Amino acid sequence: MPLRLVHPVHRATHRIGLYLDDLRQRGLTQAEAHVLGLLAHSGRANVAELHRGLAHKRSTLTSILDRLARRGLITRTVGATDRRTFVVRLTAKGRKLAKRVQRHLSALERAVVRRVSAANIRGFNKVVATLEQEAHQRVGSRSAGRNRK
């Protein structure tokens, strides 16, 4: 039986990546674009908030942030209230690009929302959230089992 959830979600994610390539922002990866998109609203977030929003491995997120910092799109400073965390902020150059990314993704989302009902969106969000939770639990339970050995 063909996969009815995983393959369509993967294919849609890939298509969104191709859509982001259409920004024609040389060297911007899909992961970097999504970080900028998350930061577009607030202009700042701590690393834990970005991790929750994207679900990357911490080492992967650090690598993405390193690349964005080298390009002058973000800064990272030690948290004022919690020195164990870093606060990520958009630079002026980063804000400009983050707004472009956000507009680009918002245009795609608006086009989709015009074609589906609110009930479809609620159902989709429920399926995606459940898919994410199940995958997360299964990875977590495997890791816990390995750590006990």
Domain segments of the chain: what residues?
A: 6-113
Task: Determine the pLDDT at residue 81.
Answer: 83
Reported as a single tens digit per residue, the pLDDT across 123-132 is 999 999 999 9
Q: Quick check: 146 pLDDT over 80?
A: no
Neighbours of 20 (CB within 10 A): 21
Residue with the bigger pLDDT between 119 and 21: it is: 119
Residue located via tokens 């942030």: 65
Task: Give percent of the chain with pLDDT exceeding 90.
Answer: 73
Task: Determine the pLDDT at residue 143.
Answer: 56
Task: Determine the pLDDT at residue 144.
Answer: 54
pLDDT classification of 141: cutoffs 50, 70, 90: low
Q: Quick check: 147 pLDDT over 90?
A: no
CATH number of the domain located at residue range(s) 6-113 in this protein: 1.10.10.10
- Strand stretches in 11-109, DSSP E: 44-46, 74-78, 86-90
Q: Quick check: 94 pLDDT over 90?
A: yes
Task: Determine the pLDDT at residue 92.
Answer: 96
Task: Determine the pLDDT at residue 140.
Answer: 72
Reported as a single tens digit per residue, the pLDDT across 27-77 is 899 999 999 999 998 889 999 999 999 988 889 999 999 999 999 999 999
d(CA 70, CA 60): 15
